[in-house]
Amino acid sequence: MTTETLTATSGSGTSSEPLLRVEGLVKHFPLTQGIVFKKTVGQVRAVDGVSFSLDKGETLGLVGESGCGKSTVSKLIMHLEKPTAGKIFYKGTDVTELSGKELRKLRRNIQIIFQDPYSSLNPRMTVGDIVGEPWEIHPDVVPSKDRQRRVRELLERVGLNPDFVNRYPHQFSGGQRQRIGIARALALQPEIIVCDEPVSALDVSVQAQVINLLEELKHEFGLAYIFIAHDLSVVRHISDRVAVMYLGAIVEIGTEEDIYENSAHPYTQALLSAVPVLDPVARAQKTRIMLTGDVPSPANPPSGCRFRTRCWKAQDICATDPPELVDRGQGHPAACHFAEAVKIVGGDTHVPEPTTEISAPVAGPDGSTHPSGS
Amino acid sequence: MTSLMTSPSGAPVGGVPLLEVDDLYVEFRTDYGVVHAVNGISYTLSAGETLAILGESGCGKSVSAQAIMGILDSPPGFVTGGEIRYKGSNLLTMSAKEQRDLRGEEISIVFQDALSSLNPVFSVGAQIGEMFRRHRGASRADAKKAAIELMERVRIPSAKERVNDYPHQFSGGMRQRVMIAMAIALDPAILIADEPTTALDVTVQAQIMDLLAELQKETGMGLILITHDLGVVGEIADRVAVMYAGRIVETGATDAVFSAPAMPYTEGLMASIARVDQKGQRLNPIVGAPPNLANLPSGCPFHPRCPRATDYCPTALPPLLEVVPGRYSACHYAEEVLRDH
Amino acid sequence: MSERTTSGLPHSSLSEPDPGLASGDPSVGSSPATVPELSGGGDLRQASLWSDAWRQMRRSKLFLLASGMLLVLAVMAAFPQLFTSIDPRARNACSLANSRKTPGTNGAWFGYDTFGCDYYSTVIYGARVSMIIGLVVVGGALLIGIFLGALAGYFGGWFDTVIARITDVIYGLPLILGAILLLNLLASDRFFGERNLATVSTALILLSWMTVMRLFRSSVISVKDTDYVSAARAMGATDSRIILRHILPNSLAPVLVYATIAVGATIAAEAALSFLGIGLQQPAISWGLQINSAQSYIRSAPHLLFFPSIFLSVTVLSFILLGDALRDALDPKLR
C3 touches chain B (CB under 8 A): yes
Answer whether A124 sits within 8 Å of C17, measured CB to CB. Answer: no
pLDDT of A2 strictly over 60: no
A188 touches chain C (CB under 8 A): yes
pLDDT in tens, B29-51: 877 788 888 999 999 999 899 99
- CA dist A78 and A64 (Å) reads 19
Answer whether C32 sits within 8 Å of A161, measured CB to CB. Answer: yes
- Mean pLDDT (chain A) is 84
Neighbour count for residue B171 (Cβ, 10 Å): 16
Average pLDDT of span C260-289: 85
pLDDT (0 to 100) of residue C37: 32
pLDDT of A363 strictly over 60: no
pLDDT (0 to 100) of residue A174: 87
Average pLDDT of span B210-228: 90
Q: Is residue C41 a part of any domain in this protein?
A: yes
CATH number of domain containing C191:
1.10.3720.10
Q: Tell me how close the Cα of B250 comes to any Cα of chain C, in angstroms.
A: 20
Instruction: Please tell me whether residues C36 and C55 are part of one structural domain.
Output: no
Instruction: Please tell me whether residues C15 and C73 are part of one structural domain.
Output: no
State the total domains in chain C.
2
- CA dist A115 and C133 (Å) reads 47
The interface residues of chain C toward chain B in range 24-83, judged by CB-CB distance below 8 A, are: 39-41
Bridge partners (DSSP) of residue B241 are B53, B251
Neighbour count for residue A220 (Cβ, 10 Å): 15
Instruction: Please report, for chain B, the start and end positions of each structural domain, with discontinuous segments joined by +.
Output: 47-70+95-106+188-339, 115-187
Q: Which fold has domain A56-84+95-239?
A: Rossmann fold (3.40.50)
More confident of the two residues C64 and A6: C64
Alpha-carbon distances, residue A79 vs A83, A225, C155, C230, C233 (angstroms): 9, 16, 17, 10, 9
pLDDT (0 to 100) of residue B233: 92
Task: List chain C residues with CB under 8 Å of B295.
Answer: 39-41
Q: Tell me how close the Cα of C12 comes to any Cα of chain B, in angstroms.
A: 9
Alpha-carbon distances, residue C302 vs C68, C110, C291, C298, C312 (angstroms): 28, 11, 10, 5, 16
pTM: 0.80
Bridge partners (DSSP) of residue B239 are B51, B253
Longest dimension (CA), chain C: 95
**All partners of chain A with 3 or more CB pairs under 8 angstroms:** B, C
Q: Tell me how close the Cα of A280 comes to any Cα of chain B, in angstroms.
A: 7
Nearest to B62 by CA among B38, B93, B83, B39: B38
Residue C42: pLDDT band with limits 50, 70, 90: very low
Instruction: Please tell me whether residues C180 and C82 are part of one structural domain.
Output: yes
Note down the domain range covering C88: 49-334
Answer whether A278 sits within 8 Å of B203, measured CB to CB. Answer: no
Q: Tell me how close the Cα of C288 comes to any Cα of chain B, in angstroms.
A: 44
Answer whether B269 sits within 8 Å of A205, measured CB to CB. Answer: yes
Instruction: Please tell me whether residues C17 and C80 are part of one structural domain.
Output: no
pLDDT of A354 strictly over 70: no
- In total, the C-beta contacts within 8 angstroms joining chain A to chain C are 154
Instruction: Please tell me whether residues C128 and C273 are part of one structural domain.
Output: yes
Instruction: Please tell me whether residues C304 and C317 are part of one structural domain.
Output: yes
Bridge partners (DSSP) of residue B103 are B107
Q: Decide: helix, strand or coil at residue C87.
A: coil
Task: List chain C residues with CB under 8 Å of B282.
Answer: 23
The interface residues of chain A toward chain C in range 255-284, judged by CB-CB distance below 8 A, are: none
pLDDT in tens, A191-207: 999 999 999 888 888 89
C11 touches chain B (CB under 8 A): yes
C43 touches chain A (CB under 8 A): no
pLDDT (0 to 100) of residue B278: 76
Answer whether B292 sits within 8 Å of C41, measured CB to CB. Answer: no
pLDDT of B135 strictly over 60: yes
A174 touches chain C (CB under 8 A): yes
Answer whether B295 sits within 8 Å of C39, measured CB to CB. Answer: yes
Q: Tell me how close the Cα of C119 comes to any Cα of chain A, in angstroms.
A: 49
Instruction: Please state the ipTM of this predicted complex.
Output: 0.81
Task: List chain B residues with CB under 8 Å of A232.
Answer: 202, 276
A133 touches chain C (CB under 8 A): yes
Instruction: Please tell me whether residues C15 and C162 are part of one structural domain.
Output: no
Q: Please, where are the H alpha helices in chain C?
A: 20-23, 49-58, 61-78, 119-155, 157-172, 175-187, 197-224, 227-234, 239-241, 248-275, 287-294, 303-330
Instruction: Please tell me whether residues C22 and C132 are part of one structural domain.
Output: no
- In total, the C-beta contacts within 8 angstroms joining chain A to chain B are 143
pLDDT of A42 strictly over 70: yes
Instruction: Please tell me whether residues C144 and C21 are part of one structural domain.
Output: no
| Single-letter residue type at C104 | G
Instruction: Please tell me whether residues C132 and C223 are part of one structural domain.
Output: yes
Tell me which residue in A206, A236, A271 faces B203 most closely, judged by beta carbons.
A271
Q: Decide: helix, strand or coil at residue C287.
A: helix
Answer whether C17 sits within 8 Å of A160, measured CB to CB. Answer: yes
Q: How far is CA C112 from the centre of its chain?
A: 33
> Which chain B residue shows the shortest CA-CA distance from C56?
B31
Task: List chain A residues with CB under 8 Å of C161.
Answer: 35-36
pLDDT of C8 strictly over 90: no
pLDDT (0 to 100) of residue A157: 92
pLDDT above 70: percentage of residues in chain C:
82
Tell me which residue in C1, C17, C41 faces B57 most closely, judged by beta carbons.
C1
Backbone φ/ψ region at C46: left (φ over 0), alpha (ψ -120 to 50), beta: left
Answer whether B280 sits within 8 Å of A237, measured CB to CB. Answer: yes
Q: Decide: helix, strand or coil at residue A112.
A: strand
Tell me which residue in C3, C10, C18 faces B294 most closely, judged by beta carbons.
C10
pLDDT in tens, A317-330: 999 999 999 998 88
pLDDT of A93 strictly over 70: yes
Q: Which of B67-76, B208-217, C60-69, C213-222 has the lowest mean pLDDT?
A: B67-76
Neighbouring residues of A136: CB distance < 8 A, sequence distance ≥ 6: none
- CA dist C27 and A108 (Å) reads 27
Tell me which residue in B35, B56, B304 faces C1 most closely, judged by beta carbons.
B56
Answer whether B285 sits within 8 Å of A212, measured CB to CB. Answer: yes
More confident of the two residues C306 and C93: C306
Nearest to A56 by CA among A88, A29, A28, A16: A16
Q: Decide: helix, strand or coil at residue A62.
A: strand
pLDDT in tens, A298-313: 888 899 999 999 898 8
Answer whether A276 sits within 8 Å of B209, measured CB to CB. Answer: yes
pLDDT of A15 strictly over 60: no
Tell me which residue in A36, A126, A137 faces C235 most closely, judged by beta carbons.
A137
Q: Tell me how close the Cα of B89 comes to any Cα of chain A, in angstroms.
A: 36
**All partners of chain C with 3 or more CB pairs under 8 angstroms:** A, B
Tell me which residue in B204, B258, B289 faces A206 most closely, judged by beta carbons.
B289
Instruction: Please tell me whether residues C100 and C187 are part of one structural domain.
Output: yes
pLDDT (0 to 100) of residue A236: 92
Interface test with C, best of A173, A186, A200 (most C CBs within 10 A): A173
Answer whether A168 sits within 8 Å of C49, measured CB to CB. Answer: yes
Q: Which fold has domain B47-70+95-106+188-339?
A: Rossmann fold (3.40.50)
- CA dist C237 and C241 (Å) reads 6
C16 touches chain A (CB under 8 A): yes
pLDDT (0 to 100) of residue C44: 41
